Amino acid sequence: MSASAAPSPSPDDRRPILICGPTASGKSGLALALAERLNGVVVNADALQVYDGWRVLTARPPAGDEARAPHRLYGHVPPSEPYSTGRWLAEAGDEIAAARASGRVPILVGGTGLYFTALTEGLADIPPTPPAIRAAAEAELARLGLPAFAEALRARDPETHARLDLANPRRVLRAWEALETTGRPLARLQAETPPPVLALTDARAIRLMPERETLYAGIDARFAAMLEEGALDEARAAMDWEAPASTAMQALGAAELIAHLRGEMSLDEARELAARATRRYAKRQLSWARNRLGAWPAAATPAEAFRALTGEA
């Protein structure tokens, strides 16, 4: 796979750069290389790398990389706080403006595709979910299980159900919560979306779409490296967090490593289950990008993406 046809960038192109791709595809390294080459600021677009306490397990850029170029919206949220797409959109908009004001190129990078669609297509103005409604929805999900819960949503809101990633419990919960909170289908609320913060035509975008076998091998190797770099210590520390937000505990591998620390499985079992869950997640990310970001140029490797974005051989 090579980068799809796109106009060659001019040397003075200062438009923001958007990089979306699955976990372990080399996004962070690409963003750093571009930041160093183009006087850029790297802005996080990953829903879990925002959390303090998860550096190794979420593959947040190491401190050495953060010292080589400015990095924003990494590790700035306590584990006790929920974090929404709306909050990210506001913060990312501020970072884009600040980077531009300082003469730098904003480089937004991450695997949370919803952040990019919110940025370039707009985000529906949906009121926050009241705690009582959220608790009731989560209890219903736990009682029914995800497939039956999704089917219950379909019976009430077939329009939104048809557009959801039904393997993602947070997305199904969000649709249920919006219906309970507003009495209106999420799909219709989204249809009333205000203008985007950044039009896609005003940005340089690329999606990393590696070959699946290469990606899966990288996932397995990276998780083994994470264990050597302290992922187990992070999981142990997370066991002592007071009332962590459910979003903070969705870091891939966290549940398996915590289960190991509780004596529920061996480290080898935890490693295999975590790697398997990560591979499945990456597969969903690839499918989502094909379906929702099909207009973006694609590259199989970070090197291809770098050439496409800079025009350099």
What is the tens place of the pLDDT at every residue in 108-159? 999 999 999 999 999 887 888 999 999 999 999 999 999 999 999 999 999 9
In a domain, 196, yes or no: no
Interval 40-75: pLDDT, tens: 999 999 999 999 999 999 999 999 999 999 999 999
In a domain, 142, yes or no: yes
- For residue 9, the model assigns a pLDDT of 56
| 253 annotated ligand binder | no
- For residue 50, the model assigns a pLDDT of 98
Domain shared by 216 and 187, yes or no: no
Give the whole-number percent of the chain exceeding pLDDT 70. Answer: 96
Domain shared by 217 and 259, yes or no: yes
| 112 annotated ligand binder | no
Confidence class for position 13, pLDDT limits 50, 70, 90: confident
- For residue 6, the model assigns a pLDDT of 45
- For residue 186, the model assigns a pLDDT of 93
| 25 annotated ligand binder | yes
| 23 annotated ligand binder | yes
| 113 annotated ligand binder | no
Domain shared by 95 and 177, yes or no: no
CA angle 276, 48, 246 (to 5 degrees): 85
In a domain, 96, yes or no: yes
Q: How many domains does the chain have?
A: 2
Closest by CA position to 131, among listed 77, 180, 89: 180
In a domain, 66, yes or no: yes
| 311 annotated ligand binder | no
Q: What is the mean pLDDT of the chain?
A: 93
Mean predicted confidence (pLDDT) in 185-208: 92
Domain shared by 214 and 307, yes or no: yes
CA angle 96, 97, 101 (to 5 degrees): 120
Instruction: List C-alpha distances in Å: 40 to 3, 34, 149, 150.
Output: 22, 7, 44, 42
Domain shared by 48 and 136, yes or no: no
Mean predicted confidence (pLDDT) in 239-259: 94
- For residue 125, the model assigns a pLDDT of 79
Instruction: List C-alpha distances in Å: 257 to 239, 245, 272, 273.
Output: 10, 18, 11, 9
Domain shared by 118 and 227, yes or no: yes
Domain shared by 245 and 117, yes or no: yes
Q: Quick count: other Cβ atoms within 10 Å of Cβ 287?
A: 13
Domain shared by 236 and 217, yes or no: yes
Domain shared by 114 and 171, yes or no: no
CATH number at residue 300: 3.40.50.300
Confidence class for position 7, pLDDT limits 50, 70, 90: very low
CATH number at residue 182: 1.10.20.140
Closest by CA position to 110, among listed 46, 199, 196: 46
2 compared with 143, residue with greater pLDDT: 143
Domain shared by 110 and 82, yes or no: yes
Domain shared by 217 and 244, yes or no: yes
- For residue 151, the model assigns a pLDDT of 97
- For residue 193, the model assigns a pLDDT of 79
Domain holding 153, by residue range, is: 131-191
In a domain, 198, yes or no: no
| 218 annotated ligand binder | no
| 283 annotated ligand binder | no
Domain shared by 186 and 231, yes or no: no
Residue type, 158: P
In a domain, 235, yes or no: yes
Q: Quick count: other Cβ atoms within 10 Å of Cβ 180?
A: 17
Confidence class for position 11, pLDDT limits 50, 70, 90: low
Residue 198 has pLDDT above 50, yes or no: yes
